[in-house]
Structure 1
């Protein structure tokens, strides 16, 4: 979910960012991206006209520092930020909700992928147990190769599915929750340990 600033909200939020510290245009764009968890990245064509308007209104000033133009809030700008604190609180609350929704979506996607992997591994284990009597007469090495190919195919499909989900999330400008990725890695480790233990039991 990409947060959409209501009319005038972006202008006010720019004032809030400048109230924290003087910034140049790219820094403001990056700050907006960070504050929204990557769900909103405005273009230069969106930011600079609003900065020019704020300057016309006497709410910000600009100075040139080398190749960078630094914007700084004026006392009039600080007064507006102070007088509209309730509006700013509502804006930040809405952005925080958007970031949480993105994180929840990623976490749910990872959990679904892990459930699917566990189901695939369980099905593969059942198949190995059920087909063992039927192929007892076959060469053990040939059977091992066949099961290896099956496991490789399952892992390849799983990797492609998860990678596609993650890349799509990033391409849309969304975030990837660190806790969800950690849970994903832990679940993969657990699945690997389960498979290794199963293989060792069968070799005894």
Structure 2
């Protein structure tokens, strides 16, 4: 029986989208992609996940590879750029539907957590000027730390209190 790791599960679609997103900014080696995926997701993908996907995307014509000094650097082809554009369209539709669902839940349940989430969504929509990739890279360690605490019996209000203090400190900057 094969055991699937988090990376195996991520590789089915999300990993491919992340890799395309990384190459959207310019060419990258497999090693560069592994490091950037780790920075974005908080989990280091295996070479056994990355390189077969690179070869598959290359066969499909989404990316092209160029060898230099024993490394292969990959970049998007026109077909790959079209896929990135399609992914962005799907992402925007998904976010819109998610926003509508949260708004409905907020009005229906009058739950403070849902209303806070709704406010956060509005704040994000109103104009985070920092690119999402940079936001994710900056926030990933915090998100993973919070997730680790929430998986244990850590008091949620204590975690929330720490986050609120951090927000207050950030506002002072």
TM-score, normalised relative to structure 1: 0.44
Contact 1:59 1:74 in 2 (8 A): yes
Match of 2:73 among 61, 70, 73: 70
Per the TM alignment, residue 6 of structure 1 is displaced from its structure 2 partner at its CA by: 6.8
**Residue aligning to 2:57:** 54
TM-score, normalised relative to structure 2: 0.51
The whole-number CA distance in structure 2 between the counterparts of 1:86 and 1:11 is 16
Match of 1:20 among 21, 25, 28: 25
The whole-number CA distance in structure 2 between the counterparts of 1:40 and 1:87 is 24
Per the TM alignment, residue 102 of structure 1 is displaced from its structure 2 partner at its CA by: 2.0
The whole-number CA distance in structure 2 between the counterparts of 1:25 and 1:35 is 15
Equivalent runs, 1:121-132 vs 2, <5 Å: none
Which segments of 5 or more consecutive residues in structure 1 lack a partner in the other structure?
Answer: 113-176, 181-204
Size of the aligned set, in residue pairs, is: 112
Which segments of 5 or more consecutive residues in structure 2 lack a partner in the other structure?
Answer: 1-5, 96-131, 156-162, 167-173
Return the structure number with greater relative CO, CA threshold 8 A, min gap 6: 1
The whole-number CA distance in structure 2 between the counterparts of 1:24 and 1:72 is 9
Contact 2:40 2:140 in 1 (8 A): no
Equivalent runs, 1:187-198 vs 2, <5 Å: none
**Aligned CA-pair RMSD:** 4.0
Contact 1:61 1:72 in 2 (8 A): yes
The whole-number CA distance in structure 1 between the counterparts of 2:90 and 2:44 is 21
Q: Which has the larger radius of gyration?
A: 1
Equivalent runs, 1:110-125 vs 2, <5 Å: none
The whole-number CA distance in structure 1 between the counterparts of 2:49 and 2:76 is 19
Per the TM alignment, residue 42 of structure 1 is displaced from its structure 2 partner at its CA by: 0.6
The whole-number CA distance in structure 2 between the counterparts of 1:67 and 1:104 is 40
The alignment partner of 1:5 has SS state of helix
